[in-house]
Structure 1
C-alpha cells in the first residue's frame, strides 16, 4: 500500500489461481455496471495473465513522490502457492508516470538475477542520488537474496547470503493460534531516512539486519562482510517501514504493531552504523484486524 497525493495504491498479489479479486477484463467491475472500491491501475488490460507485456504478479511497488513515478515490480509468475505454478514470464520492473498513467520505461531481469521459475520479488525500497531515485533494492523471497536495479546504468545484479537472508527454521510463525508451517526467507525491506542504511528481515525469524547502501551500490561487494545484525524483534514480521526517526513493523504472532525508536538508540550507540535494536514498544497489541493472513481467500 502506497499513497500519492489523494490516492491510495494497493497491490493484490495473485498467489493462488483462484485469486480473491479478478484480474481480467471479463470480470472487471466496470463490465458489470457496478462501482468498486478498488479500481485497476493503469487499466485492466495491464493485468492480463499470460500476456508478458502486462503484469502477472505484483506485490512490490514504490513511489517517488517528487516526480510522481511509480516503480512496479512484477515477478512474472502467478499462482505461486499453487501445486502447479504459472511461470509464464520473466520478472520485470516498470516505471509509470502516475499523473499521466503512462509507462516511462521497463527493465526485464535476466535469469541469473531473478529466476523465472523461482523468484518471488517481494518488497522494494528506493535509494536516491541528487534527490532522484538511482537504485531500487528488492527482496527475493522465492530464491533468498537482494536484487539491485541500477536505474542510470539500466542494469541489475543480486546479492545472496544464506546466513542472513534465509529463514530461521527454529522460529516458525503462529497466526491467531495456528502454527504457520511455511518457511519464508527475507521479505520486509526498509530504508533509513538519510538513505545510508537498509534494513531487512525474514518472515520466519526475528533477526533484523542492517546493510550500508554504499555496499549495495557496488556489485563487487562481498555482501557477507557488510551485513550486520542489529537485534531481535519481539515477534516475526512481514513488511517494514522507516519514518524520520522510527522503524515500524507488524507482529505476526500477537497481532500487533511495533515501533523501534531508532533515533533514541542511535544516540546511545553514537552512530546508526553501530546502532542496536533496544527501544521497541507495541503501539497496538492483540488487535484482531491486524491478523496476518491476507493470502487466504474465503
Structure 2
C-alpha cells in the first residue's frame, strides 16, 4: 500500500505540465486542411429586422478572426443595400446548416445610425484582453469612419474613436483595411484609398493620427491579372501585421514587395507625416500576389491568389543564417504549406487561433471582381494546421518537444512509484 507521501508526490508530478497555453499538437499533421463552413449563400439565423433588405449575392465574407472557438467574420457593405449585417458570427446548427448571426445584435447593424456599424471590412482580437477591434468605414455620408473597441467578456462597447483629425471638416478618404494592435494597445489601420497612409490610434490616451508618407508607397498603379481579366489597383497599403514583440510592422502592396517598418520610428512618423523615411525598407518580394499577410508566433504567412496556395517566410531562420539583426534581415526563403487536400477556391484573409490552426476565407473571386448579384456565392472557410498562434498571443517559451520529453520522464517516475 502506497504511503501518503507517495500519493502526494504522484499527484504533484502528474499535474506539473497541465498548464494553460502549453498544448502540444503531436496528433495533428502539418498542412492538414478541413472545411469548416461550406457556404452557398449567407443565411442568417432567425428573422431579419423589419425593413431590412437582403440580396444574397452582395453578401461576401472578407475579414475573419477566431477567438475562444467563436468565428467572427466581416461582410462589407461598400455603400450597397441588401447587406443586413456587416459583422457576424458563424456556426452550424444541429442539422449541419451554416448560420450567421449579427454581432453583437441587429440594432448594432443599423444603416444610417452612426453609433452602429456601417461598413466593416477588418477586425482584430487581442486574446490577452478579450477586446475586439473593429474598423468601420462609415457610410460615405452622415456617418464617418471610426474604430470601435468591443469588450467580448463584458459584452459591451469599450470605446469608440472617430477617424477624423481635429479641425477637419470631414474625414480623410478612407478604405480601411487590415488592423494590427501592438502590446501597448496602439492600433494601426491600413488605409488603401490614399497612397501611403495609415491611421494610428493610441487607445490609452485617445489620440488619433493620420499618417501619410511617401515611404509607404509602392507603384502608383499596378495591373492585377486574374484568370482572363486585368484589373488596375493602386499600390497602397492594404495588408499589415506586427511581429510578436511589436518591434516591427510589415505591410505589402500589390507589387508583391514586403516592407518592414521599425516601430521605434512611430514618433518620427507622427512628426514627419509627409516625406521620406530612411529606415522604411523592402525586406524582399513575395513569390505570388495575394490579399493578406499575417504574422504568427513563428512564421509570416502569405495567402496566394496566383496558385491558390498558402506560403510563409521563416524569418527566424533567416535571422539566424544572416546574423545581421532584425533591422537588416532579408527575406531569402519562402516555404509552401503542403495543404492536404489542396484549396479549391482562391484564398483571401486569414486568421490564426490559439490551437495552432490557420483559418482562411476562400471563394470564387470571379464573382467578387465582377460584382454580380448571383445567388450562389461559392465560399468556404477552411482551417489548416500550421502550429502557429496569433502574433499577439502569449505562449510559454518551453518548446513542445521539450515538454513532451519531460512529461515522458514524469510518467516513467510515476509508474515506478506506483509499483512500490
Normalising TM by the smaller chain, what interval? 0.7 to 0.9
- The partner residue of 1:252 within 302, 305, 324 is 305
Deviates more, 1:215-224 or 1:191-200: 215-224
Alignment correspondent of 1:127 = 182
Structure 2: 5+ residue stretches without partners:
1-63, 87-96, 349-364, 375-420
Equivalent position of 1:179 in the other structure: 230
Q: Say whether the 8 Å CA contact 1:60–1:123 is kept in structure 2.
A: yes
1:198 corresponds in structure 2 to 249
Q: Deviations over 1:261-283 (max 9, x none)?
A: 11111112322211111100222
Q: What SS class does the counterpart of residue 181 from structure 1 fall into?
A: strand
Q: Which residue number corresponds to residue 118 of structure 2? A: 56
Q: Which moved more, 1:56-65 or 1:112-121?
A: 112-121
| 109-118 or 256-265, larger mean C-alpha shift | 109-118
Structure 1 position 156, deviation (Å): 1.2
Question: 8 Å contact 2:243–2:295 — kept in the other structure?
Answer: yes
Q: Verify: 1:41 aligned to 2:92, yes or no.
A: no
Corresponding residue SS for 1:174: strand
Distance 1:207 1:228, change over 3 A: same
Shifted more, 103-112 versus 87-96: the winner is: 103-112
CA distance, structure 2, for counterparts of residue 55 and residue 119 of structure 1: 15
Question: In the alignment, is residue 149 of structure 1 matched against residue 212 of structure 2?
Answer: no
**Is residue 291 of structure 2 the alignment partner of residue 229 of structure 1?**
no
Deviates more, 1:144-153 or 1:283-292: 283-292
Q: What is the TM-score normalised by the length of structure 1?
A: 0.82
Q: Give the aligned partner of residue 5 of structure 1.
A: 68
1:239 lines up with 2:292 in the alignment: yes
Which residue of structure 2 aligns with residue 82 of structure 1?
none
Residues paired across the two proteins, number: 273
Match of 1:116 among 141, 153, 171: 171
CA contact (8 A) 1:114 1:147 kept: no
Partner of 2:261 in structure 1?
A: 211
Q: Tell whether the 8 Å contact from 1:165 to 1:201 is kept in structure 2 after alignment.
A: no
* CA distance in structure 2 between the partners assigned to 1:172 and 1:115 by the alignment: 31
Q: Does 2:341 correspond to 1:290?
A: no
Query: Which one scores higher on RCO, CA 8 angstroms, separation ≥ 6?
Result: 2
Deviation at 1:119, TM superposition (A): 0.6
Q: CA deviation at 1:199?
A: 0.1
| 3-state secondary structure, aligned to 1:190 | strand
Mark the CA change 1:117 to 1:107 in structure 2 (over 3 Å): closer, same or farther. closer
1:254 and 1:16 mapped to 2: Cα distance? 31
Decide whether aligned partners of structure 1 residues 265 and 114 sit closer, same or farther in structure 2, where only a CA change above 3 A counts. farther
Distance 1:117 1:150, change over 3 A: closer
Partner secondary structure for residue 183 of structure 2: strand
Distance in 1 (CA, whole Å) between partners of 2:344 and 2:169 is: 36
* Selected match of 1:273 from 308, 321, 327: 327
For 1:28, the equivalent position in structure 2 comes to none
Could you tell me which of 252, 257, 263 is aligned with 2:316? 263
**Residue in 1 aligned with 2:144?**
90
